[in-house]
Amino acid sequence: MAILGIDLGGTTISAGLLENENLVHCNSWPVDKSHGKDGVINQLLQIIESFNEYQIDGIGIGVPSYVDISKGIVYDVVNLPDWDVVPLKDIIQHSFNIPVAINNDANCFVLGEKYFGAALPFSNTVGVTLGTGVGVGIIINNHLYEGMNCGAGEVGCLPYLDKDYEYFTGKSFFTDIHQVEPLDLFEQVKNGDTKAQEIFNSYGHHLGMLIKLLQSCYDPEAIVFGGAIAGAWDHFIHSALATAQDTIFTRFAKNLVVKKSSLENAGIFGAAKLVTFSKNRNT
């Protein structure tokens, strides 16, 4: 069985072909926003077309938005122009006559980790993507918990300090507060810049507060982190854990497993898994 998994982001589209759950071909493209909503849709269709040498049995797509799963409509997609209400499932199925399943990108991330990566041993897991924003997906008793609109776990918008959790644990912490790109700061700290390490320590503290929140809300066995910022894992995780374990629930905090993603393309793996879930829903 060949499934195309697509991770549609605000800046990058990644797609990979899985044959019998093995990734055989993968690529990424910068999102072309120059022609608005229709331009991005056409780019997505062209990317799918680029896999036409394979006999594709289904397409799964993760999007940074709320989703009506049954209708395949995506709402208010983050960082994509005019993507307010888009019947994405119908558009793709009409073009290719292939089953399509769509879900939130953070849900796809945690599915990828649950079935193919670092969350394999755990029944109750939270997956967190650290990038431009912060996405959270939830596995409870080995089942994806989506909520009514695939929006369960959107804790980044909750108030924290004078902003919200996403402001202090996403890219804005670096670009807005410290006027530096995360990848540039990563290079500085690798070269021994102590001030750069102090910034990562501060970031880790805020991430530790997010870990506390997630543990209180979902009581998971493990939290798995991915996304671009997780590439600097070794420079902030010690600070994050020190903050997370500073709690009255010390016994449980110490038992919590906090891990970095073991997959380079967890979102693609999880998006592909959506197709299997969709078939099960319809039987």
Which 3 state secondary structure label does DSSP give 59? strand
- In this structure, is residue 113 part of a structural domain? no
On whether both 276 and 225 belong to a single domain, the answer is: no
Q: How confident is the model over 163-220, as pLDDT tens digits? A: 999 999 999 999 999 999 999 999 999 999 999 999 999 999 999 999 999 999 999 9
**Does position 278 have pLDDT exceeding 80, yes or no?**
no
Q: How many C-beta atoms lie closer than 10 Å to residue 129's C-beta?
A: 29
- In this structure, is residue 110 part of a structural domain? no
Number of domains making up the chain:
2
On whether both 207 and 147 belong to a single domain, the answer is: yes
Residue 93 CA neighbour count, 13 Å, CB half: 13
Q: How confident is the model at residue 281 (pLDDT cuts 50, 70, 90)?
A: low
- In this structure, is residue 178 part of a structural domain? yes
- In this structure, is residue 189 part of a structural domain? yes
In sequence order, the β-bridge partners of residue 7 are 14, 62
Would you say the C-alpha torsion 249, 254, 257, 260 has a positive or negative sign?
positive
What pLDDT shows up at residue 98?
95
On whether both 136 and 74 belong to a single domain, the answer is: no
On whether both 16 and 130 belong to a single domain, the answer is: no
On whether both 138 and 242 belong to a single domain, the answer is: yes
On whether both 235 and 274 belong to a single domain, the answer is: no
On whether both 21 and 129 belong to a single domain, the answer is: no
- In this structure, is residue 254 part of a structural domain? yes
Q: Using an 8 Å Cβ cutoff, are 227 and 137 in contact?
A: no
What pLDDT shows up at residue 152?
93
Which 3 state secondary structure label does DSSP give 86? strand
The C-alpha angle 270, 252, 158, rounded to 5 degrees, equals 60
Indicate the length of the chain as a whole number.
283
What pLDDT shows up at residue 91?
98
Question: SS3 for 92-136, per residue?
Answer: HHHHHCCCEEEEEHHHHHHHHHHHHCCCCCCCCEEEEEECCCEEE
CATH number, domain containing residue 26: 3.30.420.40
On whether both 163 and 30 belong to a single domain, the answer is: no
On whether both 197 and 126 belong to a single domain, the answer is: yes
Task: Compute the distance between CA of residue 21 and CA of residue 146 in angstroms, rounded to an integer.
Answer: 23
Q: Using an 8 Å Cβ cutoff, are 139 and 222 in contact?
A: no
- In this structure, is residue 112 part of a structural domain? no
Q: How confident is the model over 224-254, as pLDDT tens digits? A: 999 999 999 999 999 999 999 987 677 777 8
Helix axes 194-218, 237-244, angle to 10 degrees: 40
On whether both 127 and 40 belong to a single domain, the answer is: no
81: containing domain: 2-105+265-281
Q: How confident is the model over 70-113, as pLDDT tens digits? A: 999 999 988 888 999 999 999 999 999 999 999 999 999 999 99
Task: Compute the distance between CA of residue 44 and CA of residue 8 in angstroms, rounded to an integer.
Answer: 9
Q: How confident is the model at residue 283 (pLDDT cuts 50, 70, 90)?
A: very low
- In this structure, is residue 111 part of a structural domain? no
Q: How confident is the model over 106-132, as pLDDT tens digits? A: 999 999 999 999 999 999 999 999 998
Q: How confident is the model over 19-72, as pLDDT tens digits? A: 999 999 999 999 999 999 999 999 999 999 999 999 999 999 999 999 999 999
On whether both 10 and 93 belong to a single domain, the answer is: yes
On whether both 61 and 74 belong to a single domain, the answer is: yes
What pLDDT shows up at residue 248?
64
- Give, in order, the Cα–Cα distances in Å from 41 to each of 46, 75, 86, 231: 9, 14, 10, 30
